[in-house]
Amino acid sequence: MRPLNFKNYLSLVKFSHTVFALPFALIGFFIGWEHSQESFNPVLLLLVLGCMLFARSAAMGFNRWADREIDRKNPRTAEREIPAGKISPGSAIIFVLISCAGFIVCTWFINPLCFFLSPVALIIILGYSYTKRFTALSHFVLGLGLSISPTGAYLAVAGHFSVLPLLYSGLVLFWVAGFDILYSLQDKDFDRNEGLKSIPAYLNVKNSLILSSIIHAFSLGFLLFAGLYGHQGWFFWTGAVIFSVLLVYQHLIVSPRNLTRINMAFAVTNGFAGVLLAVFYGLDLVVKLYS
């Protein structure tokens, strides 16, 4: 039996990539808090963060388990934890089941609506792992999975649906789908040879980049509507401009002739974009509350 190595599990779930969902979960939480006009509940915030942590761990762990044979064949992914033998497939599944249970338990302590919707969320985020086998729209399923974070966090506080968090969910859906197309450019030849479905496997690099840009334009449209609908102040709009510039920047540094900066565009640029938007949203909320 392999000894437990916590670092291997952090690497398995790409813990650093939490920056994609966490900022929007916080935005959703604070929208709910502002709308509910109730006192701040730190325990509820911890439960929301627990949901996000467990859900993301389950999704990433299951993805690595489901793709273990594919990853073994792909030179870029052959050193991932399961194909490299650092974590056994059985241990990975146990980790996924524990994460799913943790997610459901957290929703139980939040409210009945979140609890009853928890299986739906798990079906989406776990089911994504198999979509690449039959549809090139898998990028949008990934985006849908991450888009749950702002609406889910809002539901945890308010207990009902509302337009504003759904606008942020739309933003996340198209934002993630757009940068996942960029990320998938690395595996376009492998996917094509293995019969896997992705937009880069169907389109050439130039057309994939164009489509990614169009999808990101939809994301910025949702950002604009969210700001207008929420009557946001100048702090928010400063963050929105920075977010937009970073989205444009990632398309400037990746071109059909130069794909070497894909990881920078995918992880670094998008990571900063989400975090900075959440920070400026928070500053805007403070101004609203104390002005």
pLDDT at 130: 97
Residue 1 has pLDDT above 60, yes or no: no
Q: What is the pLDDT of residues 42-70, one digit of tens each?
A: 999 999 999 999 999 999 999 999 999 99
How many other C-beta atoms are found inside a 10 Å radius of the C-beta of residue 163? 10
Convert 158-170 into a string of H (helix), E (strand) and C (coil).
HCCCCHHHHHHHH
pLDDT at 258: 86
CA 78 to the chain's CA centroid: 23
pLDDT at 4: 58
Q: What is the pLDDT of residues 66-107, one digit of tens each?
A: 999 999 999 999 999 999 999 999 999 999 999 999 999 999
What's the Cα-to-Cα distance from 238 to each of 197, 234, 283, 291, rounded to whole Å?
Answer: 38, 6, 10, 18
The structural domains of the chain, ordered by start, are 6-290 (1.10.357.140)
- Please say whether the beta carbons of 2 and 29 come within 8 A: no
The per-residue b/e assignment along 50-83, b for 16 or more CB within 10 angstroms, e otherwise, is bbbbbbbbbbbbbbbbbbbebbeebeebeebbbb
Q: What is the pLDDT of residues 199-254, one digit of tens each?
A: 999 999 999 999 999 999 999 999 999 999 999 999 999 999 999 999 999 999 99
Instruction: Flag the least confident range among 19-23, 86-90, 150-154, 245-249.
Output: 19-23
- Please say whether the beta carbons of 71 and 78 come within 8 A: yes
pLDDT at 20: 85
Q: Across all residues in the chain, what is the average pLDDT?
A: 94
Residue 13 has pLDDT above 80, yes or no: no
Global pTM value: 0.95
How many other C-beta atoms are found inside a 10 Å radius of the C-beta of residue 159? 14
pLDDT at 187: 96
Residue 256 has pLDDT above 70, yes or no: yes
What's the Cα-to-Cα distance from 179 to each of 53, 79, 174, rounded to whole Å?
Answer: 21, 23, 9
Q: What is the pLDDT of residues 173-197, one digit of tens each?
A: 999 999 999 999 999 999 999 999 9
pLDDT at 15: 65
Q: How far apart are CA 115 and CA 103, in angstroms?
A: 9
Location of structure tokens 């086998």:
133
Q: How far apart are CA 24 and CA 153, in angstroms?
A: 9
**Which residues, 6 or more positions from 188, have their beta carbon under 8 angstroms from its beta carbon?**
198, 200, 201, 205, 208
What's the Cα-to-Cα distance from 5 to each of 64, 67, 129, 157, rounded to whole Å?
Answer: 17, 21, 24, 36
pLDDT at 146: 96
DSSP 7-41: HHHHHHTTGGGGGGTHHHHHHHHHHHHHHHTPPP-
Q: How far apart are CA 1 and CA 4, in angstroms?
A: 9
Residue 291 has pLDDT above 90, yes or no: no
Q: What is the pLDDT of residues 275-290, one digit of tens each?
A: 999 999 999 999 988 8
Give me the helices (H) in the chain, please: 6-12, 22-36, 42-66, 68-73, 89-110, 112-131, 138-158, 163-184, 188-194, 199-202, 205-229, 234-253, 262-263, 270-290
